[in-house]
Structure formats: structure tokens, C-alpha cells
């Protein structure tokens, strides 16, 4: 408990100096406060219809040739659309993370032995189009993606007497597999499966676990929940603290808490949330 409050205290102290840095590197989930304003030639009062689609899926297969490779991972997608009489504004966020290591999940126990872990990420950097009930599909999204292969070598230092973990060192190597590559996400009718096809890599396929289609603004710090609040709460801070120090393959790593998107939950992520505590 003391450790937990100590981490929160560090975050509070660091907010004044790190909030601007953390904000600059945080995952840029779209917000209606960041989209372009309506043309000045439009009427003063404009009625906008806002629709949001959120999907969470489990990545199960990498459709490599000549055989399909089983994988473990997840994908989260957020699409927001504001439609008015003179303009349509769309915002997107999508991130996939997966590994071919089917014996060690991305959220794994905090092992005490040294190990090497490899995983992949695909991030939507520019969404072009999304739609519901499109060409026979329940949902469709396309745009350009960045895909990376990441390998980390872990050195776990433990107390020889108690076996308790004293520290963890890691050496991360990232290799780009596709940069600004066109890709599309297709969810067939029924919202049961999905396919992610990005030029330059083999397609990914999996199962849709949850989807929500609603007219609301979602909390960007809680993309994986059903909350419709836009306020960062103490619960958000507690969730980060519980995962503090986690990395893919070690600890309860959750990509939703990795706001700085550097594949570890640390002070940058905690300061980002703390800087926005109780703020919409």
C-alpha cells in the first residue's frame, strides 16, 4: 500500500514538469476538441450528429504462407463521426498488438528468470474512411498504418536469499515492417469476427469480443471499458498504478494504460493521467 501511494505522490510531483512532455507523446486518441472547426461561412447554429463505434477483438491468426501462424494479441478501434449540414468530421484511433509466442501472453506473470520476448504492433496513423453496414460488412475502416516488430531482452535481478525481484533491465530493439502502409479493417455482418489487412504484412484475423455503437463521447483513458464519461478519475490512476512497471510479456501490461506508447507502464503514462485528473 505504501508503494502504491508513493508512486501516486511521485506522479503528482512530476505533473508540473512532465505533463507537457507526456501530453506531447501520449497516444493521440481523437477528441472533438481537436478536430477542425466548421467553416466560418456556415450558419452560426449547426446541429451535429455524433456517432461513435468502439470495438475490442482478440487476434488469433496470422494468415502467413504457406501455413497460418497462431498468435495471441488484441486490437482496439475507436471511430467517431460528426455529421452536420455543411461538413462531416471523422476521428479514428486503432492499435493492434500481438505475439507468436503462444506460451507467454502479453499480460504475463512477472517471471524471475531472464528471457527474450518478441511482439508486433500495428497503429493507425491516419484514418481515411469508416462506415457501418458498408458493402455487406457490419463495420469497415481504412487508412494508413505503421507496423513494427519489437524484441526485448530482459535481465531480472532478484534477491538471492528471498527470491524477491529487485529490478528489471531491458534492451529494446524495434524494426519497422511497414510505414504509412494502406490497410483496412473489415468486420463482417454479425460482429463475430474481423480481419486486418495491411499492405506489406500478412493479414491478421480474430474474434470480436465486444462492440459498442452509440451517440456519445468516450473517455480516451478508458477505451477498453463501457464508461461514457470524459473525466479522468482516481480509478484511472489506480489502474495505472496497479500495472506500473509492466511491459509486454512481463506483468499485467495493458496497452490502454500505455499513453506514451513506448511499451512500458511508467512515470510518463502516470503523469499524463495525473495531469488530466478530474478534467474532461
pLDDT score for 85: 59
Let me know if residue 68 belongs to a domain: yes
The DSSP code for 189 is T
Let me know if residue 4 belongs to a domain: no
The CB density around residue 34, as the number of other CB atoms within 10 Å, is: 9
The DSSP code for 232 is B
The CB density around residue 21, as the number of other CB atoms within 10 Å, is: 15
Q: Please state, in angstroms and rounded to a whole number, the distance separating the CA atoms of residues 80 and 31.
A: 9
pLDDT in tens, 222-274: 444 445 455 778 888 888 888 888 889 888 888 878 877 788 888 888 888 88
Let me know if residue 132 belongs to a domain: yes
Region 212-222: what's the mean pLDDT? 59
pTM as predicted: 0.68
pLDDT in tens, 149-175: 999 998 999 998 888 888 888 888 999
Let me know if residue 190 belongs to a domain: yes
3-state helix, strand, coil in the chain (%, to 5): 20, 45, 35
Query: What are the grid coordinates assigned to 103, written together?
Result: 506460451
Let me know if residue 28 belongs to a domain: no
Let me know if residue 75 belongs to a domain: yes
Q: Look at residues 259, 260, 236, 262 and name the one whose alpha carbon lies nearest to residue 247.
A: 262
HSE on the CB side for 4, CA within 13 Å? 10
Let me know if residue 252 belongs to a domain: yes
For 198, the domain range is 47-263
Let me know if residue 33 belongs to a domain: no
Q: How many domains does the chain have?
A: 1
- Residues ≥6 apart with Cβ < 8 Å to 42: 84, 85, 86, 87
The DSSP code for 207 is E
Amino acid at each position: 500500500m505504501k508503494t502504491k501511494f508513493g508512486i501516486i505522490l511521485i506522479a503528482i510531483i512530476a505533473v508540473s514538469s512532465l505533463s507537457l512532455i507526456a501530453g506531447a507523446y501520449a497516444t493521440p486518441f481523437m477528441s472533438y476538441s481537436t478536430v477542425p472547426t466548421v467553416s466560418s461561412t456556415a450558419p452560426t447554429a449547426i446541429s451535429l450528429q455524433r456517432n461513435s463505434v468502439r470495438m475490442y477483438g482478440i487476434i488469433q491468426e496470422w494468415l502467413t504462407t504457406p501455413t497460418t501462424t497462431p498468435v495471441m494479441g488484441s486490437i482496439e478501434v475507436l471511430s467517431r463521426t460528426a455529421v452536420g449540414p455543411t461538413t462531416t468530421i471523422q476521428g479514428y484511433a486503432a492499435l493492434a498488438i500481438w505475439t507468436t509466442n503462444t506460451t507467454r501472453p502479453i499480460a504475463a506473470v512477472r517471471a524471475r528468470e531472464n528471457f527474450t520476448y518478441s511482439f508486433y504492433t500495428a497503429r493507425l496513423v491516419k484514418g481515411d474512411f469508416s462506415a457501418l453496414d458498408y458493402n455487406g460488412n457490419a463495420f469497415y475502416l481504412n487508412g494508413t498504418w505503421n507496423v513494427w516488430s519489437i524484441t526485448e531482452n530482459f535481465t531480472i535481478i532478484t534477491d538471492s536469499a528471498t527470491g524477491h525481484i529487485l529490478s528489471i533491465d531491458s534492451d529494446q530493439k524495434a524494426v519497422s515492417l511497414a510505414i504509412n502502409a494502406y490497410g483496412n479493417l473489415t468486420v463482417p455482418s454479425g460482429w463475430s469476427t474481423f480481419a486486418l489487412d495491411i499492405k506489406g504484412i500478412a493479414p491478421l484475423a480474430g474474434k470480436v469480443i465486444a462492440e459498442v455503437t452509440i451517440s456519445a463521447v468516450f473517455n480516451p483513458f478508458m477505451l477498453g471499458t463501457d464508461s461514457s464519461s470524459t473525466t479522468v478519475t482516481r480509478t484511472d490512476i489506480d489502474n495505472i498504478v496497479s500495472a506500473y512497471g509492466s511491459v509486454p510479456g512481463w506483468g499485467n501490461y495493458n496497452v490502454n494504460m500505455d499513453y506514451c506508447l513506448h511499451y512500458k507502464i511508467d512515470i510518463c503514462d502516470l503523469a499524463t493521467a495525473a495531469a488530466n485528473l478530474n478534467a474532461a
